Protein backbone atom coordinates (compact mmCIF):
# COMPACT_ATOMS: atom_id res chain seq x y z
CA UNK A 1 0.00 0.00 0.00
CA UNK A 2 1.48 3.36 -1.00
CA UNK A 3 0.99 6.76 0.67
CA UNK A 4 -1.78 8.95 -0.75
CA UNK A 5 -2.24 12.73 -0.70
CA UNK A 6 -5.04 15.19 -1.33
CA UNK A 7 -3.55 17.42 -4.05
CA UNK A 8 -6.52 19.65 -4.83
CA UNK A 9 -9.67 20.93 -3.11
CA UNK A 10 -12.73 22.90 -4.16
CA UNK A 11 -16.27 23.54 -3.00
CA UNK A 12 -19.25 25.74 -3.65
CA UNK A 13 -20.70 28.00 -1.00
CA UNK A 14 -23.35 26.13 0.98
CA UNK A 15 -26.82 27.64 1.12
CA UNK A 16 -30.24 27.61 -0.51
CA UNK A 17 -29.74 27.77 -4.27
CA UNK A 18 -33.12 27.40 -6.04
CA UNK A 19 -31.57 28.09 -9.45
CA UNK A 20 -28.86 25.40 -9.14
CA UNK A 21 -29.02 21.67 -9.79
CA UNK A 22 -26.81 18.72 -8.86
CA UNK A 23 -24.83 18.90 -12.07
CA UNK A 24 -24.05 22.62 -11.95
CA UNK A 25 -23.02 22.57 -8.28
CA UNK A 26 -20.79 19.52 -8.64
CA UNK A 27 -19.09 20.67 -11.83
CA UNK A 28 -18.31 23.99 -10.13
CA UNK A 29 -16.64 22.21 -7.22
CA UNK A 30 -14.75 19.91 -9.61
CA UNK A 31 -13.51 22.82 -11.72
CA UNK A 32 -12.23 24.59 -8.60
CA UNK A 33 -10.48 21.40 -7.48
CA UNK A 34 -8.74 20.82 -10.81
CA UNK A 35 -7.66 24.46 -10.92
CA UNK A 36 -6.30 24.21 -7.38
CA UNK A 37 -4.29 21.11 -8.37
CA UNK A 38 -3.13 22.51 -11.72
CA UNK A 39 -4.77 19.45 -13.29
CA UNK A 40 -7.07 18.72 -16.22
CA UNK A 41 -10.12 16.43 -16.52
CA UNK A 42 -8.11 14.19 -18.83
CA UNK A 43 -5.73 13.30 -15.98
CA UNK A 44 -8.50 11.87 -13.82
CA UNK A 45 -8.65 8.06 -13.99
CA UNK A 46 -11.66 7.39 -11.76
CA UNK A 47 -14.56 9.39 -10.32
CA UNK A 48 -16.27 8.71 -6.99
CA UNK A 49 -19.47 10.60 -6.13
CA UNK A 50 -21.10 10.79 -2.72
CA UNK A 51 -24.82 11.53 -2.82
CA UNK A 52 -27.49 10.43 -0.37
CA UNK A 53 -30.85 11.05 -2.02
CA UNK A 54 -30.63 12.74 -5.41
CA UNK A 55 -33.49 10.59 -6.77
CA UNK A 56 -35.76 11.62 -3.88
CA UNK A 57 -34.74 15.28 -3.69
CA UNK A 58 -34.57 16.12 -7.39
CA UNK A 59 -35.73 13.03 -9.31
CA UNK A 60 -32.39 12.28 -10.99
CA UNK A 61 -30.70 8.91 -10.72
CA UNK A 62 -27.54 7.43 -12.34
CA UNK A 63 -25.76 10.46 -10.99
CA UNK A 64 -22.05 9.62 -11.27
CA UNK A 65 -21.80 9.46 -15.08
CA UNK A 66 -24.34 12.30 -15.26
CA UNK A 67 -21.91 14.52 -13.39
CA UNK A 68 -18.66 13.06 -14.77
CA UNK A 69 -19.59 13.65 -18.40
CA UNK A 70 -20.59 17.24 -17.66
CA UNK A 71 -17.20 17.79 -16.00
CA UNK A 72 -15.30 16.48 -19.02
CA UNK A 73 -14.47 13.09 -17.47
CA UNK A 74 -16.58 10.79 -19.66
CA UNK A 75 -15.19 7.32 -20.30
CA UNK A 76 -13.69 6.61 -16.89
CA UNK A 77 -15.20 4.55 -14.05
CA UNK A 78 -17.83 6.74 -12.39
CA UNK A 79 -19.61 5.42 -9.31
CA UNK A 80 -22.09 6.86 -6.82
CA UNK A 81 -21.83 5.99 -3.12
CA UNK A 82 -24.73 6.18 -0.65
CA UNK A 83 -24.16 5.97 3.10
CA UNK A 84 -26.67 8.52 4.42
CA UNK A 85 -24.86 11.63 5.70
CA UNK A 86 -21.54 9.79 5.31
CA UNK A 87 -22.02 9.26 1.57
CA UNK A 88 -19.08 11.33 0.37
CA UNK A 89 -16.95 10.24 3.32
CA UNK A 90 -17.49 6.69 2.10
CA UNK A 91 -16.73 7.68 -1.49
CA UNK A 92 -13.50 9.27 -0.24
CA UNK A 93 -12.57 6.13 1.74
CA UNK A 94 -12.97 3.90 -1.30
CA UNK A 95 -11.09 6.29 -3.59
CA UNK A 96 -8.18 6.46 -1.15
CA UNK A 97 -8.17 2.66 -0.97
CA UNK A 98 -7.99 2.37 -4.78
CA UNK A 99 -5.17 4.88 -5.18
CA UNK A 100 -3.28 3.39 -2.25
CA UNK A 101 -3.56 -0.06 -3.83
CA UNK A 102 -2.22 1.24 -7.15
CA UNK A 103 -5.41 0.66 -9.12
CA UNK A 104 -5.44 4.34 -10.10
CA UNK A 105 -2.93 7.16 -9.81
CA UNK A 106 -5.34 10.09 -10.00
CA UNK A 107 -8.89 9.92 -8.62
CA UNK A 108 -11.46 12.63 -8.10
CA UNK A 109 -13.99 12.48 -5.27
CA UNK A 110 -17.02 14.75 -5.06
CA UNK A 111 -20.06 15.05 -2.83
CA UNK A 112 -23.29 16.88 -3.55
CA UNK A 113 -26.85 17.33 -2.35
CA UNK A 114 -29.69 19.62 -3.38
CA UNK A 115 -32.13 19.59 -0.46
CA UNK A 116 -34.03 22.87 -0.62
CA UNK A 117 -35.92 21.67 -3.70
CA UNK A 118 -38.37 20.05 -1.25
CA UNK A 119 -40.44 21.53 1.62
CA UNK A 120 -39.12 20.89 5.13
CA UNK A 121 -41.59 18.09 6.02
CA UNK A 122 -40.59 16.20 2.86
CA UNK A 123 -36.89 16.74 3.64
CA UNK A 124 -37.44 15.26 7.10
CA UNK A 125 -39.19 12.27 5.52
CA UNK A 126 -36.37 11.68 3.03
CA UNK A 127 -33.71 11.96 5.73
CA UNK A 128 -35.66 9.58 7.98
CA UNK A 129 -35.28 6.88 5.32
CA UNK A 130 -31.68 6.51 6.54
CA UNK A 131 -33.12 5.07 9.74
CA UNK A 132 -34.78 1.72 10.37
CA UNK A 133 -37.93 1.42 8.23
CA UNK A 134 -39.57 -1.40 10.16
CA UNK A 135 -39.20 0.22 13.56
CA UNK A 136 -38.25 3.86 13.84
CA UNK A 137 -39.83 5.21 10.67
CA UNK A 138 -43.12 3.34 11.09
CA UNK A 139 -43.27 4.72 14.63
CA UNK A 140 -42.95 8.23 13.20
CA UNK A 141 -39.42 8.93 14.41
CA UNK A 142 -37.31 11.52 12.59
CA UNK A 143 -33.63 12.18 13.20
CA UNK A 144 -34.29 15.19 15.46
CA UNK A 145 -36.43 12.88 17.61
CA UNK A 146 -33.76 10.17 17.67
CA UNK A 147 -30.96 12.55 18.61
CA UNK A 148 -33.23 14.16 21.21
CA UNK A 149 -33.50 10.74 22.85
CA UNK A 150 -29.72 10.40 22.66
CA UNK A 151 -29.31 13.83 24.26
CA UNK A 152 -31.80 13.04 27.05
CA UNK A 153 -30.02 9.80 27.89
CA UNK A 154 -26.62 11.56 27.89
CA UNK A 155 -28.06 14.16 30.27
CA UNK A 156 -29.39 11.42 32.54
CA UNK A 157 -26.16 9.41 32.54
CA UNK A 158 -23.61 12.22 32.80
CA UNK A 159 -25.35 15.41 33.85
CA UNK A 160 -24.93 17.09 30.48
CA UNK A 161 -26.89 20.34 30.38
CA UNK A 162 -28.77 22.34 27.79
CA UNK A 163 -26.25 25.13 28.39
CA UNK A 164 -23.49 22.77 27.26
CA UNK A 165 -25.42 21.87 24.12
CA UNK A 166 -25.88 25.59 23.52
CA UNK A 167 -22.13 26.17 23.97
CA UNK A 168 -21.49 23.93 20.95
CA UNK A 169 -23.98 25.88 18.83
CA UNK A 170 -22.58 29.26 19.91
CA UNK A 171 -19.01 28.18 19.18
CA UNK A 172 -19.84 26.79 15.73
CA UNK A 173 -21.88 29.85 14.77
CA UNK A 174 -18.95 32.06 15.79
CA UNK A 175 -16.62 30.11 13.51
CA UNK A 176 -19.15 30.00 10.68
CA UNK A 177 -19.57 33.77 10.79
CA UNK A 178 -15.94 33.97 9.62
CA UNK A 179 -16.39 31.42 6.82
CA UNK A 180 -17.26 33.05 3.48
CA UNK A 181 -18.73 29.76 2.20
CA UNK A 182 -20.99 29.10 5.21
CA UNK A 183 -24.76 28.86 4.84
CA UNK A 184 -25.58 30.77 8.02
CA UNK A 185 -23.11 33.49 9.04
CA UNK A 186 -24.91 34.41 12.23
CA UNK A 187 -23.34 34.93 15.65
CA UNK A 188 -25.61 33.77 18.49
CA UNK A 189 -25.54 33.81 22.28
CA UNK A 190 -26.18 31.02 24.75
CA UNK A 191 -29.44 32.75 25.69
CA UNK A 192 -30.59 32.77 22.07
CA UNK A 193 -29.71 29.11 21.66
CA UNK A 194 -31.65 28.17 24.80
CA UNK A 195 -34.69 30.17 23.72
CA UNK A 196 -34.70 28.86 20.16
CA UNK A 197 -37.81 27.34 18.63
CA UNK A 198 -38.30 23.83 20.09
CA UNK A 199 -37.74 20.99 17.62
CA UNK A 200 -37.58 17.85 19.78
CA UNK A 201 -37.01 18.32 23.50
CA UNK A 202 -34.32 19.15 24.59
CA UNK A 203 -33.19 20.24 21.11
CA UNK A 204 -34.07 23.65 19.71
CA UNK A 205 -33.57 24.92 16.20
CA UNK A 206 -30.08 26.03 17.23
CA UNK A 207 -29.13 22.44 18.08
CA UNK A 208 -29.98 21.17 14.58
CA UNK A 209 -27.97 21.35 11.36
CA UNK A 210 -29.21 23.20 8.31
CA UNK A 211 -31.06 22.07 5.20
CA UNK A 212 -28.57 23.08 2.53
CA UNK A 213 -27.53 22.81 -1.10
CA UNK A 214 -23.89 22.51 -2.10
CA UNK A 215 -21.00 20.46 -3.42
CA UNK A 216 -17.35 19.76 -2.59
CA UNK A 217 -14.54 17.88 -4.33
CA UNK A 218 -10.97 16.71 -3.81
CA UNK A 219 -8.29 15.24 -6.07
CA UNK A 220 -6.16 12.30 -4.89
CA UNK A 221 -2.75 11.18 -6.10
CA UNK A 222 0.23 9.18 -4.78
CA UNK A 223 2.25 11.15 -2.25
CA UNK A 224 5.35 11.09 -4.45
CA UNK A 225 3.47 13.01 -7.17
CA UNK A 226 2.43 15.99 -5.03
CA UNK A 227 4.87 18.37 -6.73
CA UNK A 228 3.28 17.62 -10.12
CA UNK A 229 0.04 19.12 -8.79
CA UNK A 230 1.33 22.36 -7.33
CA UNK A 231 3.02 20.99 -4.20
CA UNK A 232 0.20 21.89 -1.79
CA UNK A 233 -0.79 18.37 -0.82
CA UNK A 234 -2.03 16.96 2.46
CA UNK A 235 -0.97 13.42 3.32
CA UNK A 236 -3.58 10.89 4.43
CA UNK A 237 -2.05 9.47 7.60
CA UNK A 238 -4.94 7.21 8.56
CA UNK A 239 -8.43 6.39 7.37
CA UNK A 240 -11.15 3.93 8.36
CA UNK A 241 -14.81 3.25 7.65
CA UNK A 242 -16.94 1.18 10.03
CA UNK A 243 -20.61 0.39 10.58
CA UNK A 244 -23.17 -0.41 13.25
CA UNK A 245 -26.91 -1.09 13.67
CA UNK A 246 -29.30 1.44 12.13
CA UNK A 247 -31.87 1.45 14.93
CA UNK A 248 -31.28 2.91 18.38
CA UNK A 249 -33.05 0.01 20.09
CA UNK A 250 -30.43 -2.37 18.68
CA UNK A 251 -27.53 -0.48 20.26
CA UNK A 252 -26.27 -1.47 23.69
CA UNK A 253 -25.70 2.17 24.67
CA UNK A 254 -27.08 5.20 22.85
CA UNK A 255 -24.75 7.66 24.61
CA UNK A 256 -21.84 6.45 22.49
CA UNK A 257 -21.37 5.52 18.83
CA UNK A 258 -19.57 2.20 18.43
CA UNK A 259 -18.82 2.94 14.76
CA UNK A 260 -17.06 6.18 15.71
CA UNK A 261 -14.97 4.45 18.36
CA UNK A 262 -13.96 1.67 15.97
CA UNK A 263 -13.19 3.98 13.05
CA UNK A 264 -11.19 6.30 15.30
CA UNK A 265 -9.16 3.44 16.76
CA UNK A 266 -8.35 2.06 13.30
CA UNK A 267 -7.41 5.48 11.90
CA UNK A 268 -5.20 6.28 14.92
CA UNK A 269 -3.43 2.93 14.54
CA UNK A 270 -2.84 3.46 10.83
CA UNK A 271 -1.52 6.98 11.45
CA UNK A 272 0.65 5.82 14.35
CA UNK A 273 -0.68 8.53 16.66
CA UNK A 274 -3.00 8.99 19.63
CA UNK A 275 -5.89 11.39 20.12
CA UNK A 276 -3.61 13.73 22.04
CA UNK A 277 -1.59 14.43 18.87
CA UNK A 278 -4.60 15.71 16.87
CA UNK A 279 -4.36 19.50 16.67
CA UNK A 280 -7.86 20.24 15.34
CA UNK A 281 -10.89 18.40 14.00
CA UNK A 282 -14.02 18.63 11.90
CA UNK A 283 -16.68 16.57 13.69
CA UNK A 284 -20.13 15.62 12.41
CA UNK A 285 -22.38 17.96 14.40
CA UNK A 286 -25.67 17.09 12.71
CA UNK A 287 -26.97 17.92 16.20
CA UNK A 288 -25.01 19.54 19.02
CA UNK A 289 -25.13 16.33 21.06
CA UNK A 290 -23.44 14.49 18.18
CA UNK A 291 -20.35 16.71 18.46
CA UNK A 292 -20.24 16.21 22.22
CA UNK A 293 -20.40 12.42 21.89
CA UNK A 294 -17.89 12.33 19.02
CA UNK A 295 -15.37 14.31 21.07
CA UNK A 296 -15.68 11.60 23.73
CA UNK A 297 -15.65 8.62 21.37
CA UNK A 298 -12.53 9.90 19.61
CA UNK A 299 -10.66 10.34 22.89
CA UNK A 300 -10.47 14.12 22.95
CA UNK A 301 -11.99 14.08 26.42
CA UNK A 302 -13.18 11.52 28.97
CA UNK A 303 -16.49 9.68 28.58
CA UNK A 304 -19.33 11.90 29.71
CA UNK A 305 -17.18 15.04 29.73
CA UNK A 306 -17.91 16.29 26.22
CA UNK A 307 -20.36 18.88 27.53
CA UNK A 308 -18.02 20.48 30.08
CA UNK A 309 -15.18 20.21 27.53
CA UNK A 310 -17.13 22.36 25.06
CA UNK A 311 -18.49 24.73 27.71
CA UNK A 312 -14.95 25.43 29.00
CA UNK A 313 -13.92 26.69 25.55
CA UNK A 314 -11.51 23.83 24.83
CA UNK A 315 -12.99 23.38 21.33
CA UNK A 316 -13.13 27.05 20.28
CA UNK A 317 -10.88 28.60 17.64
CA UNK A 318 -8.41 29.57 20.36
CA UNK A 319 -8.98 26.51 22.52
CA UNK A 320 -6.69 23.58 23.24
CA UNK A 321 -8.22 21.55 20.39
CA UNK A 322 -10.37 23.57 17.97
CA UNK A 323 -13.35 21.63 16.64
CA UNK A 324 -15.39 22.66 13.59
CA UNK A 325 -13.44 25.76 12.65
CA UNK A 326 -15.51 25.76 9.44
CA UNK A 327 -18.68 26.38 11.46
CA UNK A 328 -19.57 22.71 11.26
CA UNK A 329 -22.81 21.37 9.89
CA UNK A 330 -24.56 23.71 12.34
CA UNK A 331 -23.41 26.92 10.64
CA UNK A 332 -21.47 25.98 7.49
CA UNK A 333 -24.45 23.91 6.37
CA UNK A 334 -25.22 20.25 5.77
CA UNK A 335 -25.97 19.27 2.16
CA UNK A 336 -25.75 15.69 3.34
CA UNK A 337 -24.03 14.11 0.35
CA UNK A 338 -21.37 16.83 0.28
CA UNK A 339 -20.52 16.97 3.98
CA UNK A 340 -17.79 14.30 4.19
CA UNK A 341 -15.69 15.72 1.35
CA UNK A 342 -16.32 19.28 2.54
CA UNK A 343 -14.80 18.30 5.89
CA UNK A 344 -11.68 17.08 4.08
CA UNK A 345 -11.49 20.40 2.21
CA UNK A 346 -11.70 22.30 5.51
CA UNK A 347 -8.97 20.17 7.11
CA UNK A 348 -6.68 20.71 4.11
CA UNK A 349 -7.26 24.47 4.23
CA UNK A 350 -6.10 24.52 7.85
CA UNK A 351 -3.06 22.33 7.10
CA UNK A 352 -2.08 24.73 4.32
CA UNK A 353 -2.58 27.78 6.55
CA UNK A 354 -5.29 29.10 4.22
CA UNK A 355 -8.24 29.36 6.63
CA UNK A 356 -8.09 33.13 7.04
CA UNK A 357 -9.74 34.44 10.21
CA UNK A 358 -10.43 30.85 11.24
CA UNK A 359 -6.80 29.71 11.02
CA UNK A 360 -5.67 27.78 14.09
CA UNK A 361 -2.20 28.13 15.59
CA UNK A 362 -1.35 24.43 15.73
CA UNK A 363 -2.20 22.81 12.42
CA UNK A 364 0.11 19.87 11.74
CA UNK A 365 -2.46 17.08 12.15
CA UNK A 366 -6.21 17.30 11.54
CA UNK A 367 -9.03 14.78 11.87
CA UNK A 368 -12.36 14.55 10.04
CA UNK A 369 -15.26 12.44 11.33
CA UNK A 370 -18.27 11.83 9.06
CA UNK A 371 -21.34 10.08 10.52
CA UNK A 372 -24.18 8.35 8.70
CA UNK A 373 -27.65 8.12 10.25
CA UNK A 374 -27.69 7.69 14.01
CA UNK A 375 -24.25 6.10 13.94
CA UNK A 376 -24.73 3.25 11.44
CA UNK A 377 -21.77 4.45 9.33
CA UNK A 378 -18.66 6.36 10.30
CA UNK A 379 -15.60 7.46 8.35
CA UNK A 380 -12.62 8.91 10.21
CA UNK A 381 -9.71 10.44 8.31
CA UNK A 382 -6.47 11.81 9.75
CA UNK A 383 -4.42 14.14 7.56
CA UNK A 384 -1.07 15.88 7.91
CA UNK A 385 0.90 18.43 5.93
CA UNK A 386 3.27 17.05 3.27
CA UNK A 387 5.97 19.63 3.89
- Does 281 share its domain with 340? yes
Residue 187 gets which letter from DSSP? -
336-381: pLDDT as tens digits? 999 999 999 999 999 999 999 999 999 999 999 999 999 999 999 9
Average pLDDT of the chain, as a whole number: 97
The CATH number given to whatever domain includes residue 300 is 3.40.47.10
Q: Considering only 83-92, 103-112, 225-234, 263-272, which range has the smallest mean pLDDT?
A: 225-234
DSSP letter for 74, please.
Answer: T
Task: Collapse the DSSP code of 132 into the 3-class scheme (helix H, G, I; strand E, B; otherwise coil) and give the result.
Answer: coil
85 is catalytic: yes
3 state SS of 46: strand
Is the model's pLDDT at 387 over the cut of 70? Answer: no
CA distance 109 to 80: 10
Residue 354, C-beta contacts closer than 8 angstroms, at least 6 positions apart: none
Of 334, 345, 363, 378, which residue is the catalytic one?
Answer: 334
Domain shared by 85 and 70, yes or no: yes
Rounded Cα distance between 83 and 24, Å, is 22
Q: How confident is the model at residue 386 (pLDDT cuts 50, 70, 90)?
A: confident
25: domain range? 4-119+211-234
Could you give the CA distance from residue 45 to residue 106 in angstroms, rounded to a whole number? 6
Q: Report the C-alpha gap between 303 and 116 in whole angstroms.
A: 37
Q: One of 85, 208, 286, 378 is an active-site residue; which one?
A: 85
Q: Each residue of 324-334: b (16+ CB within 10 Å) or e?
A: bbbbbbbbbbb
Residues 189 and 332 in one domain: yes
Residue 137: pLDDT band (50, 70, 90) is confident
Q: How many domains does the chain have?
A: 2
Share of the chain above pLDDT 70, in %: 100
pTM of the model: 0.97
Q: Based on the fold, state whether residues 177 and 226 are members of the same structural domain.
A: no
| Closest alpha carbon to 88 in 3, 11, 180, 183 | 11
- Give the pLDDT mean for 180-198: 96
Answer whether 345's CB lies under 8 Å from 258's CB: no
283 and 346 assigned to the same domain? yes
| Alpha carbon distance 230, 111 (integer Å) | 23
For 260-276, write each residue's pLDDT tens digit.
999 999 999 999 999 99
State yes or no: is 314 an active-site residue: no
Picking from 127, 77, 87, 126, the residue whose alpha carbon sits closest to that of residue 110 is 87
Mean pLDDT of 73-83: 97
Amino acid sequence: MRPVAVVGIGKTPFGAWPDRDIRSLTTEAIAKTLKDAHATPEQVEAFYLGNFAGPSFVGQNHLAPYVASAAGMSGIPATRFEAACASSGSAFFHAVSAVSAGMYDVALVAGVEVMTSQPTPKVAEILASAGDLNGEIRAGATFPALFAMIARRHMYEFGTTREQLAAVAVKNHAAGSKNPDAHLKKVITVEQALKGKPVADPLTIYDCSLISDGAAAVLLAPLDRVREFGGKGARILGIAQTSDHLALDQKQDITTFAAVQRAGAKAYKMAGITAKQVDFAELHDCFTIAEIIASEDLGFCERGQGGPYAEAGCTSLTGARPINTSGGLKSKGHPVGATGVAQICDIVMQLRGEAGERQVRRHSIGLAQNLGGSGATCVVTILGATA
